[in-house]
Amino acid sequence: MKIGLIGAGNMGGAIYRALVQKFSPEDIFVCDHSQEKLDALGVTHGFTKVTDMLPQVDVVLLGVKPQTFAEIHLDLSDKLVISIMAGISLGSIAAKTGAARVVRSMPNLPAQVGQGLTGWVANENVTGQEKDLVQEIFTSFGKEIEVNEEAMVDVITALSGCGPAYFFYLTELLQEKALTLGLSSDQARIIAETTFVGAAHLLEKNTKTAKEWREAVSSKGGVTVAALSHLQKQKFDVIFDQAIDAAIRRSQELKQ
């Protein structure tokens, strides 16, 4: 199967680099209006016009921005179409492109370093064999979760698509607090980043769950418990829960 990627921006470029590691570079085609981006990626088959690329591929991976997609007029009726565009529904993609076989997905930012999580849903016309290929594509840059209802893609968007921002925000807050407590800018950055990245690596080992690690570091009557008790009294869990709900609502509002 020949795979054509439309869009060589940050995410598209990361996906291309992952795909050529898993598949033959001869089977991966990329289209972007910027020849400079294509040259920077060192693509084997690069195109600046979509119409020149389409006859060569069986699968089209839509990696453009939603507003750009609105300006594109393509006949993809004979292609398996995989969208990584936020907020564009299966129905809209099918109606816009004439595609019968459509996958809608939401990869998150760590896909750029091969540690992404992609939630995806396929319409009823996508075959089991095609789903296997979709899984291969997504696992080239991280892990994947298939869901059966399109509404769950909005849920994954709020949890995982937005998730890195929650992590970065906590890191930012810890760094700012370190500064106010008298540490230098470099020291504050090192403390915040190393603390959270180190904790993430511990969790990655799969020897304990997040709850078990939290309990392991929370000695009864100790310093950590004092901080966590304050968060609980201030209803941090409720606030965070409501934030996720707000993200889901916004994802649904933006869906086209």
List, as residue ranges, the binding site for NADP(+). Answer: 6-11
Give the pair of three-digit tokens for residue 110: 């760590």
Starting at the edge strand found earlier in the chain, the sheet holding 101-107 runs 45-47, 28-31, 3-6, 59-62, 80-83, 101-107, 116-122, 142-146
CB 28 within 8 A of CB 52: no
Rounded Cα gap, residues 102 and 121, in angstroms = 9
DSSP H or E run through 146 = strand 142-146
Rounded Cα gap, residues 238 and 224, in angstroms = 20
DSSP H or E run through 116 = strand 116-122
CA–chain centroid gap for 96, Å, is: 23
Rounded Cα gap, residues 242 and 181, in angstroms = 30
Rounded Cα gap, residues 81 and 65, in angstroms = 15
Binding residues: 6-11
